[in-house]
């Protein structure tokens, strides 16, 4: 069974600074994908970034990067140059890519990020 742990219920960061949101995972699968989603107060789920378990380089998407440490089973999200609009709930999620028919995402409980001006 897959499990995602996000140990930071809430985080604060000053505008323009970088922030790291932690995510550790547990799985017996050899092939899997790790995701980060942003959920603003309006409620929609916004896909941010993806990392495959066999990807050798850390994923980057604009101001988002994923610090992937496979041996430690961690997939931390780094947001550089924080903006007020980054204030939201952030979810780490995982999906099995080993070829089974169930492509469901397993989510962590989330981290609420507040960006202060």
Smallest gap from Cβ 21 to other proteins, in A, equals 14
The residue (of 16 and 104) whose beta carbon lies closer to other proteins is 104
User: Residue 99 and residue 56: Cα distance in Å, rounded?
Assistant: 21
User: Residue 65 and residue 73: Cα distance in Å, rounded?
Assistant: 16
Q: Applying CB under 8 A, which of residues 25, 27, 35, 82 lies at the interface with other proteins?
A: 35
- Residue 97 sits in the site that holds other proteins (CB under 8 A): yes
Left if phi > 0, otherwise alpha if psi is -120 to 50, otherwise beta: which for 48?
Answer: alpha
Euclidean distance between the first and final Cα of the chain, in Å?
Answer: 41
With tokens 């999620």, the residue in question is 93
Size of the site for other proteins (CB under 8 A): 25
- Residue 99 sits in the site that holds other proteins (CB under 8 A): yes
Report which of 103, 112, 94, 99 is spatially closest to residue 52, judged by C-alpha positions: 94
Q: Applying CB under 8 A, which of residues 8, 11, 22, 50 lies at the interface with other proteins?
A: 50
Sites of contact with other proteins (CB under 8 A): 4, 31, 33, 35, 37, 43-45, 47, 50, 52, 91, 93, 95, 97, 99, 101-105, 107-110
């Amino acid at each position: 069974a897959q499990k995602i742990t996000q140990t930071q219920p809430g985080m604060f960061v000053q505008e323009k600074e970088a922030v790291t949101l932690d995510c550790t995972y547990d799985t017996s699968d050899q092939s899997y994908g790790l995701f980060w989603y942003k959920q603003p107060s309006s409620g929609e789920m916004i896909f941010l970034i993806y990392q495959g378990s066999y990807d050798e380089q850390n994923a980057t998407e604009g101001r988002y990067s994923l610090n992937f440490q496979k041996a430690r089973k961690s997939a931390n999200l780094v947001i550089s140059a924080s903006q007020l609009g980054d204030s939201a709930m952030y979810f780490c999620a995982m999906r099995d890519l080993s070829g089974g028919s169930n492509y469901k995402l397993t989510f962590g409980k989330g981290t609420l990020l507040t960006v202060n001006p």
